[in-house]
Amino acid sequence: MQHQNQTTAQPGRPYRSHLKPACLPCRRRKSRCQTEQGSVICVTCRAHSTECTFPAASDTSPRSGPSQRRRRKDATLPRNATPGNAAAPRTADTGCLAKPRSPVDDVGGTAQFANTSSPLNTWSSTQNVNRGSSGHDQQDEQTPTLGSAEEAHHNMHIVGPEVTNDSQVLSDYLSGIPEAVTSTRMVIPESASRSKPILFTLVQKRPLGQVANRSVALEKLDIIEKILEPYTKHIIDEYFQRVNYCMPLLDELAFRDKWRNEKDGISPALLACLYAHTLVYWPHSSVLSGQVCPDRRFIWNLANEAVYSELYLSPGMSIIMAILLNVGGRPTTSIIGNGVLLGSAVSIAHSLGLNHNPLPWKIPQSEKFLRMKIWWSLLIHDRWFSLAHGTPPRISRPQYDVPLPKREHLCLDDTLEDRIQVADVFIALVRLTDVLDQYLQHTYDIDQDKSWDTTKLEQALNNWVDGLPGTCRLIIIRGSKSDIQGAANLRLAYLTTRLLLQRIELEADKRNYGSIDQRILNRYTQARHTAEDILLLLQELQADDLGGFWLSVTAFAFPATVNFLLRCALETESSLTGLAQSGSFLIARDIITALRSHKKNYDWDLADICLAQHADIVDKILAGTTADNHIDGAVLDLQELDMLDVSILDQYFPSLWDPLQHSW
């Protein structure tokens, strides 16, 4: 051809050439495609650093009317497909062809981690199918192999209920047209169920122009594993022994099989956060405690970069699990950052339909349970973060119908008794979290005319206690059975919820009755008794308990308790001597003492926030009474605090006015 005889300085044929059409990426970008003599990559792809793929030679022959246009359409099908078969969408980063995935392909456990795929006959697909010419029915096809290339490029996004019927009618119509292409999937409930079908649509996972083989998350994971070698296997063992039983998120058998045989199929961000999350248990491990623990903060920073990178490039089911491990990690060092990540996880969960009850769906049982486990973990983190951080919950109760957990959702028939007890503790925690949600709705209701009747709130907590099985009831009522994993965390969560209820009741009585009377003084006494129970729990913790499972937001329960105790002492005492000798202050002092002991002896990170906020306050009050109640030669009367300069208040009670001043 004539243009091939030109000098190398001359560019190749432009985009509109029929002899040399544009490459596939330029077609998608709708950009001009030019090549230089002797180069196989066009100028635009070289500038964007994308893979330059041209159509096959058979596609570049001159057109000869309608039959040629038909051949061009046929060329977009896989090599082993016929024109009547379903047309598969192209992947985002290359010109390869990818088959649509079911919305559960990107789930951990059986989907994300298992090397199996679900039959497509469990889904009602409106993908283009010409049953007369394909030679086989659509229901004989299989979903793509999990971990395959197309899994990294697409997600199934739920279709809003207001347009579901419209989309389904259109998809049904297009399914009868041989060359029409749609990418929707309808989840069909069981015949006996009254649940409505759920419609999903295929959406691109990765931003345009991003190359799949350039992964920041994978680079960070490689650095983490180099630092942790040769203890990565032991760290994974610690995670499943100490964390996953108490907060079930991953399918252990499927994950271990994937990690041994197809490690590249695991999300780098998920694996990086798993390593970082488990490092807090390093000193308590029988295998790892004798080794020098790597710098946890450095590894957490690498894991954070991996999470944010994957969240931007390829958000999916695995990133939700990575975020849950990230925000649940210890020590807590970023309140706003954790809130941003958790909000992202909730948004993605809604997009993937995790807020819908999957039990009636015609999908594998293991995938049903896995979707529910992820949702329960989201609920726990969302509501306890709401209490700790002072922000409203991101998940609203009327917008999901996932049932509360039961034993059959978590345990197999041959599960050991100790694992069943741990599952019961998790079930109790989820149900307590549901009670906490009622308290949070009351707390964050900004309507000034809201009801201040707290009877229903108190009844909800009492009903939760009455519904506990025998072992969990002993944990709550008597504080025993602390050897069960997660038992101490459950009891502290209950006491924190009970203290919140008593604070709500105190505010209600103040609103209803005004000045302090016997009723309000009785509320103070009840709250002080609950705070004393928290103190006793702290004092009874042993090394194994401190090295066990704790929610990261538990760290905020202690400063909230001490803060409330100091408030009670200030409102009921009129002198510094009376303040230092009051029951509320003595309990606060003992909590600080217990936390200092656990921090010194076991480096317990959950003590850090409370010690940073209130240890100096308690010490200064004690120092004031030791100096014969004299401060700068004058007796300090607490009733005169309103007359003093604000700087004096800041000197003695700085963190009361700014409780997050020293938070990590």
Residue 141 has pLDDT above 70, yes or no: no
Q: What sign has the CA pseudo-torsion 294, 296, 302, 303? A: positive
> Would you give the DSSP letter of residue 145?
P
Would you give the end-to-end CA distance of the chain in angstroms?
A: 70
Query: What pLDDT score was predicted for residue 210?
Result: 53
Average pLDDT for 240-246: 94
pLDDT band for position 29 (cuts 50, 70, 90): confident
Average pLDDT for 113-122: 29
- Does residue 302 or residue 663 have the better pLDDT? 302
Cross-strand bridge partners of residue 187:
123, 198
Query: What pLDDT score was predicted for residue 156?
Result: 67
Alpha-carbon distance of 51 to 261, in angstroms, equals 29
Is residue 155 helix, strand or coil? strand
Cross-strand bridge partners of residue 184:
201
What values do phi and psi take at 119, rounded to 5? -60, 140
Q: Mean pLDDT, the chain, as a whole number?
A: 75
Residue 374 has pLDDT above 80, yes or no: yes
In this structure, which amino acid lies at residue 630? H
H helices of 328-416, in order, are: 335-351, 365-389, 407-410
Residue 300 has pLDDT above 70, yes or no: yes
Residue 394 has pLDDT above 80, yes or no: yes
Residue 100 has pLDDT above 60, yes or no: no
The mean-pLDDT minimum among 180-189, 286-295, 536-545 falls in 180-189
- Does residue 278 or residue 634 have the better pLDDT? 278
Q: Which two tokens stand for residue 565?
A: 């105790």
pLDDT band for position 111 (cuts 50, 70, 90): very low
Residue 468 has pLDDT above 70, yes or no: yes
Query: What pLDDT score was predicted for residue 399?
Result: 92
Residue 121 has pLDDT above 50, yes or no: no
In this structure, which amino acid lies at residue 40? V
Query: What pLDDT score was predicted for residue 498?
Result: 96
Residue 185 has pLDDT above 90, yes or no: no
Q: Which two tokens stand for residue 479?
A: 């504080």
437-466 per-position pLDDT tens digit:
999 999 888 875 666 678 899 999 999 999
Is residue 596 helix, strand or coil? helix
pLDDT band for position 159 (cuts 50, 70, 90): low
Residue 519 has pLDDT above 90, yes or no: no
Alpha-carbon distance of 413 to 400, in angstroms, equals 29
Query: What pLDDT score was predicted for residue 167?
Result: 56
56-66 per-position pLDDT tens digit:
654 444 444 44
Residue 241 has pLDDT above 50, yes or no: yes
Rg, Å, the chain Cα set = 31
Q: How many CA atoms lie within 13 A of 272 on its CB side?
A: 28
Residue 73 has pLDDT above 60, yes or no: no
Residue 631 has pLDDT above 90, yes or no: no
The most distant pair of C-alpha atoms in the chain lies apart, rounded to whole Å, by 105
- Does residue 169 or residue 599 have the better pLDDT? 599
- Does residue 163 or residue 102 have the better pLDDT? 163
- Cβ distance 38 to 11 under 8 Å? no
Q: Which two tokens stand for residue 580?
A: 């230092």
Query: What pLDDT score was predicted for residue 450?
Result: 64
Residue 643 has pLDDT above 80, yes or no: no
Average pLDDT for 130-145: 32
Among the ranges 29-33, 126-130, 539-543, which has the highest mean pLDDT value? 539-543
How many Å separate Cα 657 from the centre of its chain?
A: 31
Average pLDDT for 557-586: 87
- Does residue 456 or residue 142 have the better pLDDT? 456
pLDDT band for position 561 (cuts 50, 70, 90): very high
Helices (H) and strands (E) in the chain, counts: 27, 6
190-232 per-position pLDDT tens digit:
555 556 666 666 666 656 555 555 588 999 999 999 999 999 9
Query: What pLDDT score was predicted for residue 386?
Result: 94
* Total count of residues recorded for the chain: 664
In this structure, which amino acid lies at residue 3? H
Q: Which of 119, 113, 110, 87 is nearest to 100 (CA)?
A: 87
Q: Which of 271, 360, 368, 382 is nearest to 318 (CA)?
A: 271
Average pLDDT for 572-580: 78
Alpha-carbon distance of 135 to 119, in angstroms, equals 18
DSSP code per residue over 89-132: PBPSSSS-B-----TTTT-THHHHTSS---BGGGEEE-S---HH
397-413 per-position pLDDT tens digit:
999 999 999 999 998 87
Neighbours of 341 (CB within 10 A): 22
Residue 479 has pLDDT above 90, yes or no: no
What values do phi and psi take at 317, rounded to 5? -65, -40
Contacts 24+ apart (CB under 8 A), 28-35: 28/90, 28/208, 29/208, 35/11
The mean-pLDDT minimum among 137-141, 313-317, 455-459 falls in 137-141
Query: What pLDDT score was predicted for residue 463?
Result: 96
- Does residue 378 or residue 452 have the better pLDDT? 378
The mean-pLDDT minimum among 164-173, 273-282, 344-353 falls in 164-173
